[in-house]
Structure 1
């Protein structure tokens, strides 16, 4: 299907499931591994934390109460680290899984030997009632906020279906089993508590039985009958009172997401659906109390199957900031953009005034990395890491990301807040002081520091954007000073960062390719008709790809401090789409975009990497960077098509 053709309408079949359940979401998994494929997970969010739900209906990942808290359900990383299932008894393969359109509310349709069952899952949102005592806000709270509830409802659509509930928390990344206590006379509520006093409440209209660290229930539903269960970690452990209340909370959550999406500017274009799903994903990865955005809701999903390239991504990277702002402003989501910039303004800088490459979602600086040898890791990939040791690396690209974000936001809002100007000055000064120094580069290589071209490029971005911000502030002296510094960096890159064949190098001491140099197109370092840019884009497209998908670099040519081969990087493939559009290769850009859309997960998500040989997603999931790059690439294609229409 070409991107500029109308998508044909497919008539629904006669199977008795809701009109928004889509047969295209069925996948075939013939693996004998007890771990589901990464791409088969569904994603739920309440903008405080996230849950991943396996195809068999098990909640395999949930950290409470925030994205970076210890897991309560951790079967994603160890099959004995906790799970929560509410599904037909004895049936593991659903008929269809999809989202209620325009939301992060999951629906799953099940066909059993005796009937049909529909399940709704949501981390619920509702009207705000007073301050949030579970995850306190530093940003002004909105009208709606997280209820700190996971709500699950079931409805028998036809026949009779036996429903089973198994809730088996394992707190602190699987190290502590719950001690359950029934807390009501009817046996419909139970508290799961650990030795250190953490408590969750399970509520259901089924009768709960306790078996060790598990809470169980079973019941046969007939056509038209409903049931619910809910897990609460709210301050007062409040839960739905009955099935009607549970359904109402899910409906309120549906309206929350739809009302939010209605504010977004989404083009009427065949790319509309992936843009909407990406927008919902980015919003779902936003930490509402502070305005931060996590790179992914998971830790230690492997970039190399069974290998050691396993990282904790539940933090905020400064380099993501400019792509986040680009996407939010493109979608007309200015409130979220402002929240994120206020979070950045609140961050504590280093001693030199520059910002770290990453921070905790609450703004904390220390993200010291530890490992969990007690966890097997996803499909045996170890170590499982908590924290990220790269937080104190020198990465000189961070200043450019922050200043590009500030310029984007200032131009959009037509206002540079007084509290942000000192940030402009400190980041520009830090870029000036560091751009000549080697660093670990954008990919956080754990080898020797190098003069990476992409880091120099982002140094140019920093001073170029600082000069433009000084112009907006009407400070001609600083504008000239920073502009001259940007010109100096540009000259240095073109003198030392271009190979004899006219292609941008990975770093000054090699002719190896690096996909990060596609940023030269995206950030306007070179114009689209510059031969060096065209040569770089062409070389990456032809020499740094596997079956058309882009690698970050060739691991045999790069000292990244790790062993093992990695998959193609999805963000780099989307960057290539954007770069091809910028240099005028629209046919190649749309061809690659279509291929990328075809490898999305069954529910429309992207991990960090894609292993071409086995056609599977690798790395933490869903990955914000991948979805941000999708929105950027889609915007380039839509813009090019609209401009072509104007030239007719």
Structure 2
């Protein structure tokens, strides 16, 4: 499929996951390889079929602009405070800078979203344009552009045609999709490849704009420069709204906040778990999942992160999304939903794709949406509790949701489930699931007391249920050492119990909490990084290994702070921050032996846990103890 002379991925090795740059317009996302190739872009939404998918198969589409010939970039960075990426090349003839952005523009009234979805003062609209500009900063450089879309996850090559009087506007179509390309360079076609070549001298610039809607893509360099300026302004203005402590780790908090915003689907407020599907959790393995959906389990941590950093609008948008889902579910809340709120996410495999570094299968959809996971009720009630504490108001609509979800937790808490790690083995009585059911009852009781005398009886009933759950957990989830285990009837450890002191299930000075945190730190780690569990001890339905889960390592930082092991927490936090990519991004996992990032990228849950851990460490340094979810 790749045409002779094209500079696409071809047989080149896959770039390390952590080396990709991440772009977003809060409707879709793109990943840019260090080579300058766009290797992942789905349009029009984050969960749509890919147009460029060479991160999953070298023949599944790419879009490159850079020096003609094979050149290694000298540097890659974000324009400070933005999601606009700059890649710099040194060639024998001169220096070249490529700037990439998914364009954002001023909001127009005709694009008003639903009445319940309020807009932040700095909200801009996605322009549905990927803009790539290239500038020669000194000397002269031969520049080449190659654009080879392959629609529908690499199944349908593009059919190109010119759309203007000259050779600078073209359209590619296939599989019911189309993209338009505008440039100030002449474009030629070689089958399914659109290509251009030009010599740039010092101070000269060119642009290529790829669009997928009726929004006005730039057609001249001045228009491109103006729209790029608007996009830079949007991100910097958005970041300025945040409240970040003056601390050496501030840049990690800011990039994590930008990443969470970038993973937010603006039309609904939903936060996707990651931008990608099927990036493997182990080299060549089969633990390859589609994470372009939103998990109810993540809601409490997402709200806390946004509220803590001063992004109340984003927190409230996500809160309204999850409460809409809860209201529509009529008590049958799923663990995840599409970012547009759809409930069915059927899983299938794309057997024509080779997978990242030959890791198969490539999956789209996620069959775990049908699983029974009992943490959802605690997550939703914990979110309501945070929201009510922030606003000091519990209206009748929210109260009805609280009643429905707490009652569901009371009905189901004694049953086994698949746990927060979505194991595909036999259901178990997972400790973390029981604790989240306790959270639903306990926070439900607190909310009932806020309703006053009318709900006094319900408050007593729910508190009694919460106490019964706690007694059951303490009777069945501790080993002979007084350490919390993964589930009833096992001695195996599980990192999810690190949430016990953060959720307020037991006070941090309880010896069982301390012993559990230290046992995980000593027995469930590789080179200080935390595993979810040891695969040999847990029936998760797979025989392959996996890397350390970075969210769990950041949970350990937070848990160490709560039990008073502050210096140990600081040391681990320093180490974890050193594993960040050069752009301060994280995938889901880290190989403790090589430092390689594994799994989907960038991962919202990891960045949420980073914010929590870093704020805990900074807080304790300043004499403030934070118990975010209690």
* Common fold by TM > 0.5: yes
Aligned residue runs from structure 1 range 312-461, under 5 A: 312-347=290-325, 353-461=331-439
What SS is found at the alignment partner of 1:594?
Answer: helix
Q: Give the alignment partner of residue 604 of structure 1, picking from 584, 587, 593.
A: 584
Q: Which residue of 2 aligns with 1:88?
A: 67
Residue-pair matches, total: 611
Pair 1:204 & 2:183 matched: yes
Q: Indicate if the aligned counterparts of 1:350 and 1:356 stay in contact, CA closer than 8 A.
A: no
Distance 1:197 1:278 in 2: 35
Note closer, same or farther for the CA distance 1:197–1:395 as it changes in structure 2 (3 Å cut): closer
Q: Which residue of 2 aligns with 1:615?
A: 595
Aligned residue runs from structure 1 range 529-608, under 5 A: 529-608=509-588
- Structure 2 spans left out of the alignment, 5+ residues: 1-10, 626-630
Q: Which residue of 1 aligns with 2:257?
A: 279
Q: Which residue of 2 aligns with 1:17?
A: none
Q: Which residue of 1 aligns with 2:285?
A: 307
Note closer, same or farther for the CA distance 1:170–1:130 as it changes in structure 2 (3 Å cut): farther
Distance 1:318 1:129 in 2: 31
Q: Give the alignment partner of residue 456 of structure 2, picking from 476, 479, 488.
A: 476
Q: Give the alignment partner of residue 496 of structure 1, picking from 445, 456, 476.
A: 476
- Tell me the CA shift for residue 407 of structure 1: 0.5
What SS is found at the alignment partner of 2:622?
Answer: helix
Note closer, same or farther for the CA distance 1:351–1:221 as it changes in structure 2 (3 Å cut): closer
Deviations 1:315-369 (A, max 9, x none): 0000000110010010111111111111112216687613100001111111110
Distance 1:639 1:596 in 2: 18
- Tell me the CA shift for residue 472 of structure 1: 2.1
Pair 1:62 & 2:56 matched: no
Deviations 1:416-474 (A, max 9, x none): 24322221111101110111000001100000010010100111111111111112222
- Tell me the CA shift for residue 481 of structure 1: 1.4
Q: Which residue of 2 aligns with 1:99?
A: 78
- Tell me the CA shift for residue 48 of structure 1: 0.3
- Tell me the CA shift for residue 627 of structure 1: 0.1
Distance 1:416 1:52 in 2: 41
- Structure 1 spans left out of the alignment, 5+ residues: 1-31
- Tell me the CA shift for residue 141 of structure 1: 5.1
Q: Give the alignment partner of residue 189 of structure 1, picking from 165, 169, 174.
A: 169
TM-score of the superposition, structure 2-length normalised? 0.95
Distance 1:404 1:577 in 2: 22
Q: Which moved more, 1:605-614 or 1:138-147?
A: 138-147
- Tell me the CA shift for residue 548 of structure 1: 0.2
Deviations 1:560-581 (A, max 9, x none): 0012110000000000000000
- Tell me the CA shift for residue 612 of structure 1: 1.3
Distance 2:141 2:114 in 1: 42
Distance 1:139 1:210 in 2: 44
Q: Indicate if the aligned counterparts of 2:97 and 2:134 stay in contact, CA closer than 8 A.
A: yes
Q: Which residue of 2 aligns with 1:109?
A: 88
Pair 1:262 & 2:246 matched: no
Q: Indicate if the aligned counterparts of 2:76 and 2:85 stay in contact, CA closer than 8 A.
A: yes
- Tell me the CA shift for residue 263 of structure 1: 0.9
Note closer, same or farther for the CA distance 1:414–1:137 as it changes in structure 2 (3 Å cut): closer
- Tell me the CA shift for residue 164 of structure 1: 0.7
Distance 1:571 1:644 in 2: 23
What SS is found at the alignment partner of 1:347?
Answer: helix
Q: Which residue of 1 aligns with 2:5?
A: none
Q: Indicate if the aligned counterparts of 2:71 and 2:89 stay in contact, CA closer than 8 A.
A: no
Q: Indicate if the aligned counterparts of 1:182 and 1:191 stay in contact, CA closer than 8 A.
A: yes
Q: Indicate if the aligned counterparts of 1:138 and 1:289 stay in contact, CA closer than 8 A.
A: no
What SS is found at the alignment partner of 1:131?
Answer: helix
Note closer, same or farther for the CA distance 1:351–1:73 as it changes in structure 2 (3 Å cut): closer
Note closer, same or farther for the CA distance 1:117–1:383 as it changes in structure 2 (3 Å cut): same
Q: Indicate if the aligned counterparts of 2:119 and 2:313 stay in contact, CA closer than 8 A.
A: no
Note closer, same or farther for the CA distance 1:144–1:59 as it changes in structure 2 (3 Å cut): same
Distance 2:106 2:328 in 1: 38
Q: Which moved more, 1:318-327 or 1:87-96?
A: 87-96
TM-score of the superposition, structure 1-length normalised? 0.92
Distance 1:186 1:452 in 2: 64
Q: Indicate if the aligned counterparts of 2:371 and 2:418 stay in contact, CA closer than 8 A.
A: yes
Note closer, same or farther for the CA distance 1:315–1:60 as it changes in structure 2 (3 Å cut): same
Deviations 1:502-528 (A, max 9, x none): 100111110110000001011111111
Q: Indicate if the aligned counterparts of 1:308 and 1:563 stay in contact, CA closer than 8 A.
A: no
Pair 1:292 & 2:253 matched: no
Q: Indicate if the aligned counterparts of 1:137 and 1:288 stay in contact, CA closer than 8 A.
A: no
- Tell me the CA shift for residue 91 of structure 1: 3.5
What SS is found at the alignment partner of 2:180?
Answer: strand
- Tell me the CA shift for residue 137 of structure 1: 9.2
Q: Indicate if the aligned counterparts of 1:58 and 1:83 stay in contact, CA closer than 8 A.
A: yes
- Tell me the CA shift for residue 131 of structure 1: 3.5
Distance 2:170 2:456 in 1: 67
Q: Which residue of 2 aligns with 1:126?
A: 105
